Amino acid sequence: MGQILHIIKYKILSFTRFESDLTPANVIKNIAGAIIYSAFAAGSFIFIHKFIAFLLVDIKVGLFLLHQFISIIFYILFITINIGNMIVSYSTLYKSNEVTHLLSKPVQPVKIFLIKFFDNFFYSSSTLLMIVFSILAGYVYYFSLGIEAFLLLLINSVAFMLSAASLGVIILLITIRAADRFGIKIVLYTLASLYILAIFLFFQINSPKTLVTAVMKYYPLISKDNYLSELIPDIIKFLPNEWLSQSAYWLVKGNINNSLQYLVYQILLTIVFLGIAATLGYKWYFRTWLLNTRMNAELSSNRNSSLPLFSFRKTSSLSPLSDSVLKRELFLFMREPSQVFHSIVFFFLVVIFITSVAGINFVGLGNYNLQTMIYFSIFIFNLLFISTLALRFIFPLISLEGEAFWKVRSSPVNPSQILFRKLIPYTSIIIIISIGVSYYSNHNFTPELILVAMTITLLSALVIISINFGMGGLFANYKEKNVIRLASSQGASLSFLLNIVFMLFLVITLYKPLSQMFLFIMIKKEFTFQMFYYNLVPVIVISVSLSIIFLKIAVNSLKKDL
């Protein structure tokens, strides 16, 4: 226990110390970061309060349907935390210099495992915890539940997130053991397929569209807050996301016993997952660390022949600078199994999302406000996905140049030319994905709306990419080689919050014309798209301005000392 406390002590000291000199620029940057965090926390509180009021008062979806929406959101959150912590844990438990240093000391590997696990959880989930805290505060304030209910929901939420993180580490340990026996590619493809299958089956069993249709049969009785438990598939009732939403539901209804019952389920599941993770860490961690070292050595020996078509010896029609930068990025990407796995998961998420929304049609739901809300939910999900891709692949670009970047700066090549050539392939892929998702989300509507939606999505993708690129330069850390930790840093969190602020601007700007469009469709009245064009003007101006500003920030960041 003394070893754990000793390491925790210096972890806290390293976390609380200033990472940069107290120069006026750094002080302003830190104050600006604190303002953004505070403003976003306050905004989250106000937003959730207004959003619940909108759903319950204006649309009258009822408490049951509201909490089923919450359950679906928390299922996505569970998968996100699970995959995120698994990838972060792989980087920090098996590839960090700190672990290599600690393993050379008289410290038991299981203690290193446990410390790094909790370090990863709180490091990568700090912003998420802040958002959850603000949302719970807004939820409790709206229903006037009191501090006791807030604490119960907070404990439930933290336990829920800890369960997802623990399961991720368990899967990671099993994956490395299986990769040694069956091969890394087979295991990664199988694991990605299982995640995709889990997401696909969940939305097949518990489709939001089917749920809304089934509940609307009871309209207007749903506004009387009847508990329609028969509409929830039996298997869904055993999932932790459903326990969390049901605990919140019964708190609102004043039934504390039912709420505590689901809280106990959540805590017991967390204890079980933590126990399994600690047991496997005790038995397997050091062994898997050795296995991973050997597998990486074998992959390194075969890496040069894995992509013969992209060898540096091959001639290319591109300029020498573009050719070398693109090939280098490809080899750096392929050498990391975690990046390949992450990309496979992203790709299948895109496929599932497209197949889920490709046939969506809002006509006939009978409530144009609800139609607008569902449309914006899909639109925001698309932008959040773009933001996740940009945060993962765009934000770390400048930092990944490392301390050797001085060689580039001392060469007769403009550093900005190199970075923009690094940016182009990632930007192209993200834009193609975003445009494709936008098209399949809107192709059942008129050509004018399809054109408007794709234009807005393109502008949004460019802004989100520019924000992440600029913030990645402003908060560049040339000493950090871990991509996942870069994407989980304070600068990345601020970048993500700025992305969400931009999304809220789009919702506020576009809500009126979209709601009117659905109203006119419902009453079978011809709708003019002239209002869309008026609303597009501020969107275009703000988007172009933000893109230019953050691209300039990225270029200017190259001039600072390493």
Q: Which structural domain, as residue segments, surrounds residue 524? A: 358-562
For residues 540 and 392, state if they share a domain.
Answer: yes
For residues 266 and 377, state if they share a domain.
Answer: no
pLDDT for the residue numbered 533: 72
Give the residue-averaged pLDDT of 508-532. 74
For residues 368 and 489, state if they share a domain.
Answer: yes
pLDDT for the residue numbered 217: 64
pLDDT band at 6 (very low <50, low <70, confident <90, very high): low
Higher pLDDT, 511 or 14: 511
Residues 250/259, Cβ–Cβ less than 8 Å: yes
DSSP tag of 239? S
The per-residue pLDDT for range 266-324, each reduced to its tens digit, is 999 999 999 999 999 888 988 888 888 777 666 655 554 555 555 555 666 666 666 66
User: In the listed set 278, 294, 310, which residue is the last one of a domain according to the structure?
Assistant: 294
User: In the listed set 260, 276, 294, which residue is the last one of a domain according to the structure?
Assistant: 294
The per-residue pLDDT for range 39-90, each reduced to its tens digit, is 767 777 877 877 788 777 776 777 887 888 888 888 888 887 888 788 778 8
Which range has the worst mean pLDDT, 253-262, 394-403, 407-416, 540-549? 407-416
Give the residue-averaged pLDDT of 505-527. 77
Burial of 282 (0-12, 13-18, 19+ CB in 10 A): middle
pLDDT band at 545 (very low <50, low <70, confident <90, very high): very high
Whole-angstrom distance, CA of residue 166 vs CA of residue 270:
8
pLDDT for the residue numbered 314: 60
The per-residue pLDDT for range 85-140, each reduced to its tens digit, is 887 788 788 877 778 777 777 778 888 888 888 877 776 666 677 778 888 888 88
pLDDT band at 335 (very low <50, low <70, confident <90, very high): low
Q: What size, in residues, is the chain?
A: 562
Burial of 297 (0-12, 13-18, 19+ CB in 10 A): exposed
For residues 410 and 271, state if they share a domain.
Answer: no
556 Cα distance to chain centroid? 28
CA angle 295, 297, 302 (to 5 degrees): 95
pLDDT for the residue numbered 170: 93
Q: Is residue 391 part of a domain?
A: yes
- Flag whether pLDDT at 145 surpasses 70: yes
pLDDT for the residue numbered 363: 46
Question: Within 13 Å and on the Cβ side, how many CA atoms surround 442?
Answer: 24
Residues 441/378, Cβ–Cβ less than 8 Å: yes
For residues 154 and 288, state if they share a domain.
Answer: yes
Q: Return contacts of 69-74, CB within 8 angstroms, 24+ apart.
A: 69/208, 70/244, 70/245, 70/248, 71/236, 71/239, 71/241, 71/242, 71/244, 71/245, 71/246, 72/206, 72/208, 72/241, 74/160, 74/241, 74/244, 74/245
pLDDT for the residue numbered 364: 46
pLDDT for the residue numbered 155: 92
Residue that is written with structure tokens 């049969």 in the block: 217
User: In the listed set 238, 269, 294, which residue is the last one of a domain according to the structure?
Assistant: 294
Q: Is residue 51 part of a domain?
A: no
Sequence-distant (6+) residues with CB within 8 A of 131 are 40, 41, 44
Which range has the worst mean pLDDT, 13-17, 28-32, 240-244? 13-17
pLDDT band at 237 (very low <50, low <70, confident <90, very high): confident
Which range has the worst mean pLDDT, 142-156, 279-293, 337-351, 422-436? 337-351
Q: Is residue 408 part of a domain?
A: yes
Whole-angstrom distance, CA of residue 234 vs CA of residue 64:
16
Share of the chain above pLDDT 70, in %: 69
Q: Is residue 244 part of a domain?
A: yes
Sequence-distant (6+) residues with CB within 8 A of 531 are 512, 513, 516
Per-residue burial over 61-90, b if 16 or more Cβ lie within 10 Å, else e, is bbbbbbbbbbbbebbbbbbebbbbbbbbbb
- Flag whether pLDDT at 265 surpasses 90: yes
Most confident of 358-367, 451-460, 489-498: 451-460
What is the average pLDDT value for the chain, to the nearest integer?
Answer: 76
pLDDT for the residue numbered 473: 84
For residues 245 and 374, state if they share a domain.
Answer: no
pLDDT band at 346 (very low <50, low <70, confident <90, very high): low
Q: Total structural domains in the chain?
A: 2
Give the residue-averaged pLDDT of 198-206. 80
Give the residue-averaged pLDDT of 3-28. 54
Look up residue 519 and give its amino acid.
L
Q: Is residue 32 part of a domain?
A: no
pLDDT for the residue numbered 8: 55
Whole-angstrom distance, CA of residue 248 vs CA of residue 70:
10
pLDDT for the residue numbered 472: 86
Kindly state the tokens that stand for 98: 């700190």
Higher pLDDT, 379 or 532: 379
The per-residue pLDDT for range 170-179, each reduced to its tens digit, is 998 998 888 8
For residues 396 and 251, state if they share a domain.
Answer: no
Q: Is residue 467 part of a domain?
A: yes
For residues 370 and 268, state if they share a domain.
Answer: no
Helix (H) or strand (E) holding 296: helix 256-303
Q: Is residue 254 part of a domain?
A: yes
Q: Is residue 312 part of a domain?
A: no
